[in-house]
Amino acid sequence: MRIGKINSANLALVGSLLAIYALSQFFRNSVGVIGPELAREFNLDARSLGLLGAIFYFSFALTQIPVGMAIDRFGAKETIVTTALAAIAGAVIFAQAANFTVLAAGRLIIGMGCSSFYMGTLTIYARRFPPDRFAMMAGIQLGAGTLGSLMATAPLVAASAWIGWRATFMGIAALCAVTTLIVAVLVREDDALRIERQKRRENLRDLLAGVAVAARVPSFWPVFLIQATTYSAFASIVGLWGSPWLTQVYGVNGEVSGRILFVTVLAQVSGLFAWGWADRFFGGYRVAGLTGVGGGVILLAILASAQPPLAWVPPLLALFALFLAVTPVLTAHGRALFPPELVGRGLTLLNVGNMGGVFVQQMLTGFVIESFGARVVDGVRIYPAAGYRAVFAVLGCELALAALLYWRCKDTHPSKKQ
C-alpha cells in the first residue's frame, strides 16, 4: 500500500535518507575545493586532478547495475547500509593517503560506497508515495541532500584551514558511520512490498534480463543522454574546475572562491526544490526539462564567449545552477518509463548516465584545459582563461545536442494518461 500522508514514520524515513545522501554530495564535490591543496601536496597537473575528481563517478557508475539488481532483489535499505560501509572505509583511506595512487583508490572506494544513496532512496519513495508526488520527492531529496555540496565549499575550506583536509575527512568518515546506523534503525520497508519481492525470487539471470528490458523501454536513451549531460555540466564546474577558474583567471583567494561556489550551490538547492513542482506547472516533463536545459546552454555560451567581470560571475553561476537544477523533472520522467518491478534497475541504469557522464566530462575537460598549456608558479600549474572558456563551450555543445534528442522523446507524465 502506498503511503502519501505526512506522519512521524515518513518524516523519520525521509530525514535519515536526506542525511546520508548529503554525505554523498559532499564527497563528490570536495575535490574541486581542496584541489589546489592536493595539487600542491601531491604535485598534480590538470589531467591528474581531473582523474581524481572523475574516478568517484567512474566507480559510482560502474556499480549502478549491480546496485539496481541488489535493490530489486534484497531491498533498498539493505543495499544502502551495505554500500555505506565501503564509503566509510574509502574516506579513511583517502584521509591517510601517502601518494596519489592511494588517494585515487580511496576516492574510488568512496564512489562505490555512495552508489546506492540516491537511487536506493528514490526506489523507496517510488514505492511509498503516489506517482504524482515523485518529482516533488526527488526535488526534496536533491535539494536538501545538496546541502552536502554546500558543506564542500566555504565550510570545507574553513575546516581544512583549521584542522587540515586529512582530519576533516576522518571526521566525515565518523559522521557517515553514525548516519548509516540511523538509516539502519529508522528506515522500514512496507511489508507488502517485501512479500511481493520475495515471491518473485529472481535469480541472477532474471535480474540481468531485467536490466536489458529496462534499457529497451521507449524513450529510455533520450532521457539517459539528457541526464548524462545535465548533471555532469554542473558537477564539472562546481565540483572540479570552478575553484581553479576563479583563483587563476580572476586572482581571488580560496576563501573568496569558496564563498562564490557556496552561493552557486545554494542557488541550485533552491532550484531543486522549485523544479520539484515544475512538472505540475508545465503539465508534463519534456517542456519543463527543455526549459531548464536551454537556460543552462545560454549561460554556458555566455561564459564561453567572453570573460565577464568578476562582479557578474556570482549571478551568472547562480542562474546556471538554477537552470540545471531541473534534475528532479528529468529523474521523474525516467521513473515514469518503468513498471514497478523494474524501478530499481531502471533508475540505477539511468544513473549510469548521470555518474558516467561526470566521469567522462571531468576526464575530457582535464585534457581540454591541459592542451592550452600551463605555467608553473610556486609549484602550481596556472592555466589560461581560454582553456576554461573551452570547457564551457564543450559542455554547452553537448547539452544542446542532448536537448535536441530529448525533444523527440515521449512525455510519460501521469496527467497525460488521463
What percentage of the chain exceeds 70 in pLDDT?
91
Give the percent of the chain with pLDDT over 90: 32
Query: 10 Å Cβ neighbour count for 140?
Result: 18
User: Does residue 266 carry a pLDDT above 90?
Assistant: no
pLDDT tens readout for residues 234-256: 988 887 888 889 999 998 887 88
Does residue 13 carry a pLDDT above 60? yes
Checking if the pLDDT of 360 tops 60, the result is yes
Q: In the chain, what are the domain boundaries?
A: 8-417
- Under 8 Å between Cβ of 240 and 402: no
Distance CA(86)–CA(324), nearest Å, equals: 30
The CATH architecture that domain 8-417 belongs to is: Up-down Bundle (1.20)
The residue-averaged pLDDT of 55-69 equals 84
Burial class, 185, CB count within 10 angstroms (exposed 0-12 / middle 13-18 / buried 19+): exposed
pLDDT at res. 192: 57
Write the secondary structure of the chain as one string of H (helix), E (strand) and C (coil): CCCCCCCHHHHHHHHHHHHHHHHHHHHHHHHHHHHHHHHHHHCCCHHHHHHHHHHHHHHHHHHHHHHHHHHHHHCHHHHHHHHHHHHHHHHHHHHCCCCHHHHHHHHHHHHHHCCCHHHHHHHHHHHHCCHHHHHHHHHHHHHHHCHHHHHCCHHHHHHHHHHCHHHHHHHHHHHHHHHHHHHHHHCCCCHHHHHHHHHHCCCHHHHHHHHHHHHCCCCHHHHHHHHHHHHHHHHHHHHHHHHHHHHHHCCCCHHHHHHHHHHHHHHHHHHHHHHCCHHHHHCCCHHHHHHHHHHHHHHHHHHHHCCCCHHHHHHHHHHHHHHHCCHHHHHHHHHCCCCHHHHHHHHHHHHHHHHHHHHHHHHHHHHHHHCCCCEEECCEEECCHHHHHHHHHHHHHHHHHHHHHHCCCCCCCHHHHC
Is residue 378 very low, low, confident or very high in pLDDT (cuts 50, 70, 90)?
Answer: confident
pLDDT digits (tens, 9 = 90+) for 120-154: 888 888 777 777 777 788 888 878 777 787 787 67
pLDDT at residue number 393: 95
Distance CA 329, CA 118 (A): 15
Q: Has residue 50 got a pLDDT over 90?
A: no
Instruction: Report which of residues 95 and 253 the model is more confident about.
Output: 95
Per-residue pLDDT, 418: 45
Cα–Cα distance for residue pair 4/7, rounded to 1 Å? 9
Instruction: Find all residues with CB under 8 Å of 226, minimum gap 6, and list them.
Output: 289, 293, 330, 402, 403, 405, 406
Using 50, 70 and 90 to split pLDDT, how confident is the model at 309?
Answer: very high
Residue 321 predicted with pLDDT over 90: yes
pLDDT confidence band for 414 (50 / 70 / 90):
confident
Going by pLDDT thresholds of 50, 70 and 90, the confidence category of residue 7 is low
Residue 191 binned pLDDT confidence (cut-offs 50, 70, 90): low
Query: Band of the pLDDT at 197, cuts 50, 70, 90?
Result: low
* Per-residue pLDDT at 2: 44
Above 80 in pLDDT, residue 412?
A: no
> How far apart are alpha carbons 324 and 330 in whole angstroms?
10
Q: Is residue 1 predicted with pLDDT exceeding 50?
A: no
Question: Quick one: pLDDT at residue 200?
Answer: 57
Average pLDDT over residues 323-342: 85
Q: Given a cut of 80, is residue 5 above it in pLDDT?
A: no
User: If you average pLDDT over every residue of the chain, what do you get?
Assistant: 84
